[in-house]
Structure formats: structure tokens, C-alpha cells
Amino acid sequence: MPAIVEKSFPSAITGERKEEKLKVLMVDKAKCTGCHQCELWCGNEIGSVAKDLYLAINEVPQPVPRVFVQGKKFVLQCRHCPDAPCLSACPNGTMRTDPETGVVYVHEPTCIACWMCVMVCPFGIIEPSSSLKVAIKCDRCRNMGYPICAEVCPTQAISLQERPNPSPT
């Protein structure tokens, strides 16, 4: 698994570390009230076809949010790992990295629902949608202005920040 590699060298091709450019969604556990608004609006804005909550609620198949409010009031979405295990598990290049931003995303038209990515994601945030027949995960709203979960969070527990600089290894 690539994640075990001690990667202490810069990429010869880009000459710099990709992750320096990458902004990630950070979650402040103390601020999360577990209100599920991020899940709701992510499901509506990203997951649904209608993008209108009144209609999305009754959509079949059920829209899938990319963010998870977990047990003890904590939000989790894809971390966009610099060495993402899902990238090497994907057997047909459906899981991709945006070279500009480092965002890891599912290229849905080619996803064949083999769930290999689900099998290796250490965070458990890839949802195998049997009804939609695609693996669903956060793409950090790469086609939108700003991540919806961070935008709607009433306590600003979710925020978009620079990935912390890698400590020397």
C-alpha cells in the first residue's frame, strides 16, 4: 500500500510537494453539535438530482451525502490523502487525483461498483451505493465555489484550511 512509503523526496516531475497546494476540510470537534445540517445540504446540493430540498427528500434512489456525522458529534469526509489507498485499489482509473488541487475524486461515468476503494479506505468514508452503482465520496465540491458542508455549518465547525505542513520525517 503506498501509504506505508516514507516519501521524503520531492517529486522529480512537479518539483514540489503536491500536498502543499491542497486545502482540506478541517473539523473542530469542540464546535460540532451533531446537527446534521452538513449531511442534509450535502445530500441536497451534491447528492440529489433536483438540488431542491423539497424534491430531493422524495428522490429515488435516495440522495447520498458525502459527509458523515458520526456517533459522538463529529463530522468526517474524505481526507484526500496525498497517498490515497483508494487510488491504487481502483482497477480502472475511476478514482482520480486533480493535479491542480490534489483533490481525490470518483470519475463516476467509469465507476463499475467493484467496491475495491471501499475495501481500503482507512476512514470508511466511501459509500458503496448499490442503487446508484457507484462509489460515492466527497470531492470537496471541486466543481463548486466552496464546500457546501463548510458553508452551511452553523457553528463553523467545518472549515477549509491549508493542509498542515508535513513534519520532517
Partner 1 sequence: MEFIQKKTADSAIEVYLTKAASEGISLTWDRFEGQLPECGFCETGLSCRDCLQGPCISHPFRDASKEGVCGKDRDIMGAQSLLRLVIKGAMTIIAEADELSAEIAAGKTSPVNPSQADFIGNDLARLLGNGTANVLAELPAPLKENWQARGVLPGGTLKDIFKASQKLEGGLAGVEELLLRGVKAALLACMAGKLHGRLKKALFGAQSPTKIEIGLGVMEEKQANVLLVGTLSPFLKTKILQAAQGRNIKVVGVATEPLLAYGTISPVTNYAAQEIPLLTGAVDLVVAGDRYVNPSLVKIARASSVPIVYTEALGADGNYDALSARIMEMAQQSFAVRQGLDRRVNPDRQTAVMGFSGGQVPARAVADALQEGQIKGLAIISGSGNVKYTQDRFLVAMTEDLVKRDILCLSTGEASVTLGKYGLLAPAEVDKYCGRGLASFLNSLGKDIPPVLDFGPGENGAALDLLIAVSGVSGKSLVDCPVVACFPEANCVSEVVEALWYVAHGVTTYFWPALPVTGSPQTMAALNEYLQTSFGASLPVPTDKRLEPLDRSRIILKHLKIADASIVTQGGHAWKRT
Partner 2 sequence: MRYVIIGGSAAAISAVESIRSIDDKSTIDLFSDEETPLFSRVLLPYYVAEELTKPLLNFRGADFFEEKSVTPHLGVKVLAISPDERSVQVQDGVYAYDKLLIATGGNPIVPSISGVNKLGISTLKTMADAERIYKYPAKRAVVIGAGSIGVEASISLQRRGTKVTILEQLGQVLPTVFDEESAAIIAKRIQAIGVEVVTGEKALEFVGDEQVKKVITDNREIPCDLVVLAVGVRPAVELAVAAGLELGAQGGIKVDELMRTSRPEIYAAGDVAETHDIARDASFINAIWPCAFEQGHIAGLNMAGTRTPYAGSYRRNSIGNFIGIPAISMGLTQVNSCATGSVADEYREIKRKTRDGYRKIILRNGKIVGAILVGQTQKAGLMSMLLQKQVDVADALPVLMSNSLSFMDLLPIIRRNADKFTETEFRELIDTGL
* Interface ranges with partner 2 (CB under 8 A): 1-7, 9, 11-13, 26-29, 68, 70-72, 74, 76, 79, 81-83, 85, 88-93, 110, 112-116, 118-128, 130, 133, 163-164, 166-167, 169
* 49 binding partner (options partner 2, partner 1, none; Cβ < 5 to 8 Å by kind): none
Residues that bind partner 1 in the complex, under the rule CB under 8 A? 35-37, 39-41, 43-44, 47, 52-58, 62-65, 144-146, 151-152
Reply yes or no: is the peptide bond before residue 61 cis, omega within 30 of 0.
yes
Q: What residues have CB less than 8 Å from 78, skipping those under 6 apart?
A: 66, 104, 123, 125, 126, 137, 138, 139, 140
Between the CA of residue 10 and those of 4, 18, 148, 169, what are the distances in Å? 16, 9, 33, 13
Residue 52 C-beta: closest distance to partner 1, Å = 7
Please tell me the distance from the alpha carbon of residue 104 to that of residue 151, in angstroms, as a whole number.
Answer: 20
* 147 binding partner (options partner 2, partner 1, none; Cβ < 5 to 8 Å by kind): none
Nearer Cβ to partner 2 (1/49): 1
Q: Which residue has the cell 470519475?
A: 107
C-alpha distance across the termini of the chain, in Å? 18
Residue 12 C-beta: closest distance to partner 1, Å = 39
- Whether the CB-CB separation of 68 and 39 falls below 8 Å is answered with yes
Nearer Cβ to partner 2 (4/58): 4
Residue 144 C-beta: closest distance to partner 2, Å = 21
* 61 binding partner (options partner 1, partner 2, none; Cβ < 5 to 8 Å by kind): none
Please tell me the distance from the alpha carbon of residue 39 to that of residue 122, in angstroms, as a whole number.
Answer: 20
Residue 51 C-beta: closest distance to partner 2, Å = 25
